[in-house]
């Protein structure tokens, strides 16, 4: 009986230790590179389109806090092989008012870009 209880507790602990599954390829979460825990900022849907040969992206970010928050972000642009095809963008500062939802648009610097990553830093 004691051994069974121990086994149940051990299994529960192991389940707690297990790392969360990686985000599904192509999902919004799979496009985000966080440089730390993203606190009080929710990442919503991302729109990707090609206009005049250049990839354009728009990501929805929401402040879930009751205070204004400043975050830093930049886009990285990837080619068909999954490697960067341009120099990294400049880090940009974004202020989100309490409860505000904002869209962060970007245009790829070169026509070769077919995918992107959104790097976010919340200080």
Partner 1 sequence: MFLRVSFLTLAALLIGGCAENRSPVLGSGNISYGDPKAVELVTNEFGSTDLQMIAESMTRSLAQSGVLKGRPVVQVYDVMNKTSEYIDTREITTSIKTQLMRSGTARFASDNTDMQSQVDHLKLQNQSGLYKKSTVAKTGNMIAARYRLEGSISSIIKRSNDYKDVFYKFSLQLVDVESGLAEWMDEKEIRKTTER
Q: Which of residues 27-66 bind partner 1 (CB under 8 A)?
A: 51-54, 56
88 binds partner 1 (CB under 8 A): yes
In contact, 63 and 34? CB cutoff 8 Å: no
72 binds partner 1 (CB under 8 A): yes
| The only residue of 41, 108, 118, 120 in contact with partner 1, by rule CB under 8 A | 108
- The b/e string for 32-71 (b: 16+ C-beta within 10 A; e otherwise) is beeeeeeeebebeebeeeeeeeebebebebebeeeeebeb
Residues that bind partner 1 (CB under 8 A): 51-54, 56, 72, 74, 86, 88-93, 106-111
């Amino acid at each position: 009986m004691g051994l069974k209880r121990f086994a149940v507790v051990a299994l529960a602990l192991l389940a707690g230790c297990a790392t969360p599954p990686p985000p599904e390829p192509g999902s919004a979460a799979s496009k985000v590179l966080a440089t730390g825990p993203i606190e009080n900022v929710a990442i919503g849907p991302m729109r990707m389109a090609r206009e005049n040969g250049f990839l354009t992206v728009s990501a929805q970010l929401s402040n879930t806090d009751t205070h204004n928050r400043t975050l830093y972000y930049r886009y990285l642009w990837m080619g068909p092989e999954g490697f960067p095809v341009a120099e990294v963008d400049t880090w940009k500062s974004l202020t989100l008012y309490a409860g505000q939802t904002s869209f962060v648009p970007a245009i790829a610097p070169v026509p070769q870009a077919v995918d992107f990553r959104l790097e976010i830093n919340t200080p």
